[in-house]
Structure 1
Amino acid sequence: MAKFGETLVSDFLSQLGLKPIKINEGDEQTPDFEVKNMINDELLFYLEEKTIDPDSFLENVEPGIIIDGNDTSENALEKKFRKAVKQFKSVNENHIKPNVLAFVNLNDMVNSHDLYISLTGTGLTENGKVIPFRRVGRVKDDIEHVDLCLWFGKEGLQNVLWMPSSEEHKETLKQLLRL
């Protein structure tokens, strides 16, 4: 399923006139792509793609077992986020270039609001009220290493979630991704 996600994200970037270059996997964990300028090959940002499979949140759960009150989707999303941060740090430790994390969701039981909850511990009501849902663990220390989360469904981009990072990186990404 990861290949589907990488292809979907790569096609999205190419349609914007960007050049996604797959980073060769070696011994060290790295992001999936360097995204470059199509004309002069300048490195613009790094991108890691994480696919959310239909059964991503039921790992290590035996059939017939009732899952307790903990939301496994939020824990799994937080785990994917933290792993991506480690991958970004391996090539962009000082966060010189923007880091973009793309989630490709193939699971009908989760959406971008679950990602928001897992990263902030809060949810938003329809009238904009913030409601605390859960404690945020170690991910709160990692948020500054990601500039933008893109949320894709099977058909394409569905939502974006800006992280509290560099305004310069945010403006760069807004222009490059036409957001």
Structure 2
Amino acid sequence: MAKFGETLVSDYLSQLGLKPIKINEGDEQTPDFEVNNMNDELFFFVEEKTIDSDTFLDDVEPGIIIDGNDPSENALETKFRKAVKQFKSVNPDHSKPNVLAFVNLNDMVNINDLFISLTGKGITEDGKVIPLRRVGRVKNDIEHVDLCLWFEKEGLRDLLWVSGNEEHTKLLKNVFRL
């Protein structure tokens, strides 16, 4: 399904007038794309992570209470940390923005799970931010990702600003017309 995700992300970027160029992986893990403008200037890097249908509840009998560790949040944190390693391989000084695109094919996961994974906090219906879980090693990686795009099967659904790099944020807001 990763091919589906890469195609979805690449098509979206192309529709914005950008040129996503697939990075050939060698011995070292790299992001999926470098993204150029129409003048072939490098704008930013993109790593796509597909969230496949998950079966973690398939074997749980109705009425059984599972523990408080949400497997989806742990999986998202793992994907995030792996993407940071890939970004560091081509952009070690973070001189260009890094964009992490999640393509969600799992009905039990949404961008709120990503927010919880990265911050340990949840947002209530009335907008209050409350602590939910301890954040692991991902807190040391957040500064290496500028923006997370959240795709569903139909296309871009949401986004989450991650790093506080104002220069990268300004560029990405302009590129994504935000």
**TM-score of the pair, normalised by structure 1:** 0.93
Which structure 2 segments of 5+ residues have no match? none
Letter of the 1:159 partner, please give it. Answer: D
1:134 aligns with 2:148: no
Q: Is the 8 A contact 1:145 1:165 kept in 2?
A: no
Q: 1:125 deviation in Å?
A: 1.1
Q: Is the 8 A contact 1:146 1:165 kept in 2?
A: no
Letter of the 2:37 partner, please give it. Answer: N
Runs of 4+ in 1 over 4 A off after TM superposition: 61-67
Give distance in 2, aligned partners of 1:36 and 1:171: 16
Structure 2 residue aligned with 1:35: 35
Which structure 1 segments of 5+ residues have no match? none
Once the two structures are superposed, residues 66-125 of structure 1 have per-residue CA deviations (whole angstroms, 9 ceiling, x without a partner) of: 753310000000000000000000000000000000000000000000000000000111
Q: Name the SS for the 2:106 alignment partner.
A: coil
Give distance in 2, aligned partners of 1:100 and 1:62: 33
**TM-score of the pair, normalised by structure 2:** 0.94
Structure 1 residue aligned with 2:9: 9
Q: 1:164 deviation in Å?
A: 2.8
1:115 aligns with 2:102: no
Give the superposed CA RMSD.
1.6
Q: Is the 8 A contact 2:144 2:163 kept in 1?
A: no
> Number of paired residues?
175
The farther-off stretch of 63-72 and 95-104 is 63-72
Give distance in 2, aligned partners of 1:2 and 1:63: 25
Q: Name the SS for the 1:93 alignment partner.
A: coil
Letter of the 2:19 partner, please give it. Answer: K
Q: Name the SS for the 2:141 alignment partner.
A: helix
